[in-house]
């Protein structure tokens, strides 16, 4: 019984109610559009595939750091494509548009979590969209600073509307 009391007291000391659990503040997801840092552009991209439509749409909206529109582009391509391949193609279109407009410091926002997660990995991806991601990664060398961000669909409304 002495061992039980000792063990119980030890557990109470280390795990008891007097033990304070540190609070971990997790960042809340951004639920509205936010501008990029000063001197950066925000490149929002989106893709749209509609059942019964003989193709897919890609859209790009590039904004100045204060939020005003710099340039936008929409492209419709006939044919069949996977959603992820279309999202990767939209990002590539955004990078190409930025370079045509001599934009070298940007943050690319897409609502495709899978594609955005592929960028930091820098690994060869053998999915149908992997080659486009690799091409976009190689295009980083043409920019002074380029980051890829996941943005919620409601933070990407203009690009989303243009793609439809």
pLDDT digits (tens, 9 = 90+) for 5-23: 555 565 565 555 454 544 4
Closest CA to 163 of 81, 105, 99: 81
Q: How confident is the model at residue 2, as a pLDDT?
A: 47
The alpha carbon torsion through 46, 49, 54, 58 (nearest 10 deg) reads: 0
- Average pLDDT on 53-76 reads 93
Q: What structural domains does the chain harbor?
A: 34-163 (3.30.420.10)
Give me the phi and psi of 121, to 5 degrees please.
-75, -30
Q: Using DSSP, state whether 48 is helix, strand or coil.
A: strand
Contact (CB, 8 A) for 74 and 158:
no
Q: Which two tokens stand for residue 131?
A: 């080659």
Whether 92 contacts 25, CB under 8 Å: no
Q: Is residue 82 pLDDT above 70, yes or no?
A: yes
């Amino acid at each position: 019984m002495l061992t039980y009391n000792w063990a119980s007291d030890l557990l109470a000391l280390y795990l008891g109610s007097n033990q304070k659990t540190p609070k971990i503040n997790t960042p809340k997801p951004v639920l509205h559009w936010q501008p990029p840092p000063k001197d950066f552009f925000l490149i929002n991209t989106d893709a749209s595939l509609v059942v019964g439509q003989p193709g897919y749409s890609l859209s790009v909206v590039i904004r100045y750091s204060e939020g005003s529109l710099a340039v936008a582009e929409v492209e419709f391509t006939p044919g069949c494509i996977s959603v992820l391949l279309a999202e990767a193609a939209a990002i590539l279109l955004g990078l190409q548009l930025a370079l045509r407009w001599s934009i070298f410091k940007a943050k690319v926002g897409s609502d495709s979590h899978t594609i955005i997660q592929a960028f930091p990995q820098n690994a060869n991806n053998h999915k149908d969209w992997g080659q486009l991601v690799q091409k976009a990664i190689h295009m980083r060398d043409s920019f002074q600073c380029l980051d890829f961000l996941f943005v919620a669909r409601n933070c990407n409304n203009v690009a989303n509307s243009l793609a439809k």
